Structure 1
Amino acid sequence: MTATVNTETPSAILAQLKEQGITTVVLGGCDTHGIMRGKRIPIRQLAEVLERGLPMCEVFWVMHVDESDLVERPKDHTGYFPTERTGYPDILTVPDLQTLRIVPWHPDTALFLCDWQLPEGKGPVPVSPRGLLRRVVGRAHHMGYDPYSALELEFYLLREQVGVPHHKRPDELVPLQELPSTYGVVLGSLQEDIGATIRNQMLAYGLPIEACNPETGPGQFEITLHYGPSLAAADDAFLFKSGVKEIAARNDLLATFMAKPNTNWAGNSCHVHVSLRDRLGHAAFYDAADPDRLSTTMRHFAGGILHTMREFTALMAPTPNSYRRFTPYSWAGTTATWGIDNRSTGLRVICDGERGTRLEHRQPGGDANPYLATAAVLAGGLYGLANEVDPGPLDQSDIYRRPVDARTALPTDLREAVDLLEASGPARDWFGDDFVDHYVRMKRAELHAQSVAVTDWEVARYLEAM
């Protein structure tokens, strides 16, 4: 079977899927946390779904990430449903025809990525991450630019059961390999069986895999994806994360993109690379006449990212655990700074000729929602273009060795980051009040869940001493 299918018309899709022996179709979309939600349908139901969409309860918008509880809506909530329809009604799962692909690790199975729509033709669900990115990309087009991006994802493979409650302490987790081996070819060969399986399955899935290597943590991988139009690139990353988890589970392993599974291990990152092209297809970040070969467009775009980095941190670091990763020499972006090929800054400039010159946002972790992280990078940059924001001088020093600078410091916990997002004018302009209010409410519920939990650290520290 081929990874992709002709997606010109629904009738052509149905004919080709039947010709390839497809019996099951997965309809999946992204929730606030970055988890794929959806349903499986038999192929005979597909024609009706392509015409009308598939009803699905909207309750997953208010589920905690571990599904332990629901986030209570405020009493005056009207949101995107009328007041009389707040009892968890249906929304529509609408397949995006351009995203159809064959799932190589499931027999006779195809998948559509889907958009979430309100019933009765009332438009997109405004809190949808994919819909939010689509809106930001649309504003970029209106400003005369086509955004391109790519995401670098890191994850751990653990010898842990999947689908069971996890009660182990962090230091009891068993990684695929006990020793780290950054870029190590020899020790990396010990995990090549599963590494090759993931790469080959992802390629067969139609994802643009570039390279794979062991990372700094034990049993940690980095796999990079080739750049593309920003919505498609975020789709690739979303599919990749879900696919890696499925393939790992089929090999009796647990894959985690959690930002920091163990205090002593390296964090998982999700660096976002971005560039723009103008309406003629010319690279907008390159200027041969500039001493650094950087265009004014790039400088203003970088200025906007740096200006909004504090306010958008909650989108890049969405859980309390995310902030465990922000330590010196973690190779995470811990400051609103920029520099050419400087991995200690929050925003790294990569000078690679006319087509390859780009920015790399180093703040987001592996736990970031790919759609929201991409939307935050683009919205910040486009805000900078619209307002001609000066990024300040490029910094080539080792940022990690410098004292904390209040002008460039980023939030160090989720509570501070959520407060900044809630009050952010650029966030409400670019993402909308519905999304910002929903996201803030979800993250404050996460903070409350953390605040009432008794941790292993507390028991070890206080049980006997107190």
Structure 2
Amino acid sequence: MCATMSKKKKSDKPEHSGVPDIESARGISGVESAKDWFRARDIEEIECLVPDQGGVARGKIMPVSKFLASPVMNLPLSIFYQCITGEYPAYDGLVDAVEADTDMFMQPDWSTLTAVPWAMDPTAQVIHDAMTRDGRPVEQAPRQVLRRVRELYRKKGWQPVVAPEIEFYLVEPNTDPDYPLKPPIGRSGRPELGRQGYSISAVNEFDALFEDIYKYSEHQGLEIDTLIHEDGVAQMEINLRHGDPLELADQVFLFKRTIREASLQHKIYATFMAKPMSGEPGSALHIHQSIVDAESGQNIFSDPETGGPTPLFFSFLAGQQKYLPAIMCMLAPYVNSYRRLTRDSMAPINVQWGYDNRTAGLRVPPSGPDARRVENRVPSSDANPYLAIAASLAAGYLGMTEELEATSPIESDAKNRDFELPQSLLEAVAEMDESEEIRQVMGSSFVTAYAAIKRQEYETFMKVISPWEREHLLLNV
């Protein structure tokens, strides 16, 4: 959500000598144009990143001299089959190349070349695309899944625009997973005890941390729109500016990394778990979505003559309503995600939509015709941004191409209505696995791989005995 009370971005430049400005990296398109950029800033190392299915940064770190000699490198294709636990599902029936532990090739996307401002020595980072030996994109790669969906829009003459909002918690360092998380100590020397939604003073408790977040973000060209304190204890939200889906997914990917690293330097954990603390609200990744005509730039959700909503707007909404259950496991990818989606929380539990209604899964914010958009409030902050954005846009695309009709907007509390979304990870995986439409739009090989990963993660989870079980079953059953 947006708030009028927000911490403003400071204009002063960070005091990190040797860290390259993002503006200097723009226009680089290959090795030759990158050499001067690295040399002028004495860059010694580069981190070559590729986001996996969990949104984790995989890749290699190497000297710049070695990178410039061969910027296209290899990694096992199996990284796109790795669970968040580090395990792998059974490969039977998946991809022969994975069973053989075949390599894929990482190709740098030079538009993502930025600094690593928290590094001790001058270091750069660049996000890579995964390619097969014969030069085709790896279909299971999250960046490619989002590109695939974006290309479907472009073939229709449409250009999707998104603006993510990321919620997260600050917590005390916790090295023992058996102990509950606690809010951190702020500059006053006291932990936050009560909920301080939109409180400026509660944000100021962590001023030094947020100054570093802004500084690091500026060096990477990451544009923060607003920063607010959310409803939970030490729960924050950062809103990003709107733009191209792939660019914004890259920004969320880098933002998560930036916030974690900056927090660690202040002896604080930043967590994007959907539900890190009992009794506190969950954290979301809200996605604002609009579609413009690629030639005219006109928002196709609004009639250019009357300014009112168009049939495509309602069909986009209808597609979200119909396919949210089928994409749920990409919006809520872990067992913990479903602890957020409960009736007694602010998180949505159904596919209702409404005008400026935050209890609905789909909200249409107040706006003029040019900014008419749909906010998907279902995704949790633990979602891979590439997959969450791709899945949400895929649902809207199907709605428009199938000319679906949306329900009437809801004006009351949508949480009082029945559950319409999957209530567990396995249920959500089954919905996705059985949807031929989602397979067609997002890629059948990706869906098969993703389903296998999620089922393996659930199997691993079931091997753990929870405190609830020891509390209520140990001596009572």
Considering the TM-score relative to the shorter chain, is it more than 0.5?
yes
2:79 aligned partner: 60
1:11 aligned partner: 32
Question: Which secondary structure does the structure 1 equivalent of 2:178 belong to?
Answer: coil
**TM-score using structure 2 length:** 0.90
Q: What is the alpha-carbon distance in structure 1 between the residues aligned to residue 346 and residue 443 of structure 2?
A: 32
Q: What is the alpha-carbon distance in structure 2 between the residues aligned to residue 30 and residue 348 of structure 1?
A: 29
Answer whether contact 1:308 1:426 (CA < 8 A) is retained.
Answer: no
Answer whether contact 1:238 1:370 (CA < 8 A) is retained.
Answer: yes
1:283 aligned partner: 299
Matches within 5 A, 1:92-103: 92-103=105-116
Q: Choose which of 88, 104, 107 in structure 2 pairs with 1:70.
A: 88
2:424 aligned partner: 413
1:192 aligned partner: 207
Q: Choose which of 41, 56, 62 in structure 2 pairs with 1:41.
A: 62
Out of 320-329 and 367-376, give the one that drifted further: 320-329
Query: Does 2:233 match 1:231?
Result: no
Alpha-carbon deviations, 1:147-198, whole Å to 9, x = none?
A: 110110011111215xx5x32332x544454322110112222122212221
Question: Which secondary structure does the structure 2 equivalent of 1:371 belong to?
Answer: helix
Q: Choose which of 142, 145, 170 in structure 2 pairs with 1:129.
A: 142
1:178 aligned partner: 192
User: For residue 35 of structure 1, what is the amino acid of its counterpart?
Assistant: V
Q: What is the alpha-carbon distance in structure 2 between the residues aligned to residue 331 and residue 451 of structure 1?
A: 27
Matches within 5 A, 1:13-412: 13-50=34-71, 53-67=72-86, 69-74=87-92, 76-79=93-96, 81=97, 86-106=99-119, 107-119=121-133, 121-161=134-174, 166-170=176-180, 172-176=181-185, 177-179=191-193, 180-279=195-294, 280-287=296-303, 293-328=308-343, 330-400=345-415, 402-404=416-418, 409-412=420-423
Q: CA deviation at 1:347?
A: 0.6
Question: Which secondary structure does the structure 2 equivalent of 1:373 belong to?
Answer: helix
Answer whether contact 1:351 1:358 (CA < 8 A) is retained.
Answer: no
Alpha-carbon deviations, 1:89-121, whole Å to 9, x = none?
A: 2221111011111222223111111111122x2
Question: Which secondary structure does the structure 2 equivalent of 1:152 belong to?
Answer: strand
Q: What is the alpha-carbon distance in structure 1 between the residues aligned to residue 242 and residue 145 of structure 2?
A: 20
> For this pair of structures, how many residues does the alignment match?
448
2:465 aligned partner: 454
Question: Which secondary structure does the structure 1 equivalent of 2:205 belong to?
Answer: helix
Q: CA 1:36 to 1:49, structure 2 compared with 1: closer, same or farther past 3 Å?
A: same
Q: What is the alpha-carbon distance in structure 2 between the residues aligned to residue 86 and residue 122 of structure 1?
A: 20
Q: What is the alpha-carbon distance in structure 2 between the residues aligned to residue 389 and residue 290 of structure 1?
A: 22
User: For residue 285 of structure 1, what is the amino acid of its counterpart?
Assistant: F
Query: Does 2:450 match 1:435?
Result: no
Question: Which secondary structure does the structure 2 equivalent of 1:372 belong to?
Answer: helix
User: For residue 86 of structure 1, what is the amino acid of its counterpart?
Assistant: E
**TM-score using structure 1 length:** 0.92
User: For residue 456 of structure 2, what is the amino acid of its counterpart?
Assistant: A
What's the RMSD between the two structures over aligned residues? 1.7
Q: CA deviation at 1:122?
A: 4.4
Q: What is the alpha-carbon distance in structure 1 between the residues aligned to residue 472 and residue 177 of structure 2?
A: 18
User: For residue 138 of structure 1, what is the amino acid of its counterpart?
Assistant: E
Gaps of 5+ in 1: none
Task: Give the 4+ runs in structure 1 shifted more than 3 A.
Answer: 76-79, 172-177, 288-291
Answer whether contact 2:281 2:346 (CA < 8 A) is retained.
Answer: no
Q: What is the alpha-carbon distance in structure 1 between the residues aligned to residue 389 and residue 443 of structure 2?
A: 16
Q: CA 1:234 to 1:77, structure 2 compared with 1: closer, same or farther past 3 Å?
A: closer
Aligned-residue sequence identity (percent) comes to 30
